[in-house]
Amino acid sequence: MERRAFRLNGFLALLGALALAVVAGLLLLNGGVSGLVLAIVLGLVVLLVLTGFAVINPNEANVVQFMGRYVGTVTDPGLQWVLPLTTKRKVTLRVRNFETARLKVNDADGNPVEIAAVVVYKVADAARAVFSVDDYEEYVSIQSEAAVRHLATTHPYDSHEESRTSLRDGATVAEELTTELRERTELAGIEVLEARITHLAYAPEIAQAMLVRQQAAQVVAARTRIVEGAVGMVQLALDRLAAEGVVDLDEERKAQMVSNLLVVLCGDRATQPVVNAGSLYA
């Protein structure tokens, strides 16, 4: 949608306007009646030329309209001259950022959480930013809150399943949020550079209960991993003993060995070895 507007170097246009003004002054003084008429015409031309000047700051665009019609965008910094009798609306192209409010929303498991995010963006198409929405800053703010809410409702706060993405998976969640925001704000000519969660916590009314639950889940997950590792180590020990012929164990002695190893490997405290000087069957 955006296109470049016709422009001239502002200083050259200013010199031209001054030259016309000087000629008009000379005609007014020495040209008689015909000179007066020509001086008036040149004066009107100078006034028209003066309405076409615009000062463009770095990383800024001027969206130019003539009688309600979009004629183009000027992005070259400095003093510029565009078509006269046009309206010019300034739009900043600088990188901007803001943080959303702390939103209270239920996650994918139905638990109320508080979540906030920071969004970094810039205007990529000044014409769309002006004509597609009423206020592109407010539009980005509202769409950002909507995207954060949608993200929170589609992911759990925490997950011990490797195949399930949780809100605490920073890089993955940030990439997903950035992608969704880009799709939502493309209509307004906005380019989202980055979006990242800055605050994530359970709602105060369930924070203590969820902390206990989270700790219990972590203990269970840790115990599961310990048991899996212990079983693997016991199996490895039995296989090595049998393969190398170190000792020939019957089923009862194997069961006793497995029991002892599991107690040692799965216990949460240091074990004290006890030497059996007699026979297992004594």
64-103 confidence digits (pLDDT tens): 999 889 999 999 999 999 988 888 999 999 999 999 999 9
The span from the CA of 3 to the CA of 73, in Å, is: 6
The span from the CA of 175 to the CA of 163, in Å, is: 17
pLDDT beyond 80 at 214: no
The span from the CA of 158 to the CA of 164, in Å, is: 9
Read off the pLDDT of each residue in 236-259 and give the average, rounded to a whole number.
72
Give, for 243, the enclosing helix (H) or strand (E). helix 204-244
Q: Are 59 and 94 in contact (CB under 8 A)?
A: yes
Banded model confidence at residue 208, pLDDT cuts 50, 70, 90? confident
C-alpha distances in angstroms, 225 versus 37, 230, 265?
Answer: 98, 9, 12
Work out the mean pLDDT of the chain and round it to a whole number. Answer: 84
DSSP 188: G
Q: Are 45 and 21 in contact (CB under 8 A)?
A: no
The span from the CA of 148 to the CA of 118, in Å, is: 10
Read off the pLDDT of each residue in 163-184 and give the average, rounded to a whole number.
90
Per residue, the 3-state secondary structure of 136-181, as one string, reads HHHHHHHHHHHHHHHHHHHCCCCCCCCCCCCCCCHHHHHHHHHHHH
The span from the CA of 35 to the CA of 25, in Å, is: 10
Task: Name 102's Cβ contacts closer than 8 Å, sequence gap at least 6.
Answer: 114, 115, 116, 199
Task: Name 187's Cβ contacts closer than 8 Å, sequence gap at least 6.
Answer: 128, 132, 133
Q: Are 39 and 78 in contact (CB under 8 A)?
A: no
The span from the CA of 29 to the CA of 77, in Å, is: 39
The span from the CA of 86 to the CA of 53, in Å, is: 10
pLDDT beyond 90 at 13: no
Token pair for residue 166? 């949780």
pLDDT beyond 80 at 59: yes
Read off the pLDDT of each residue in 253-272 and give the average, rounded to a whole number.
68
Ranges 56-60, 107-111, 138-142, 197-201: which has the least confidence:
107-111
- Enumerate the β-bridge partners of residue 79: 55
pLDDT beyond 70 at 166: yes
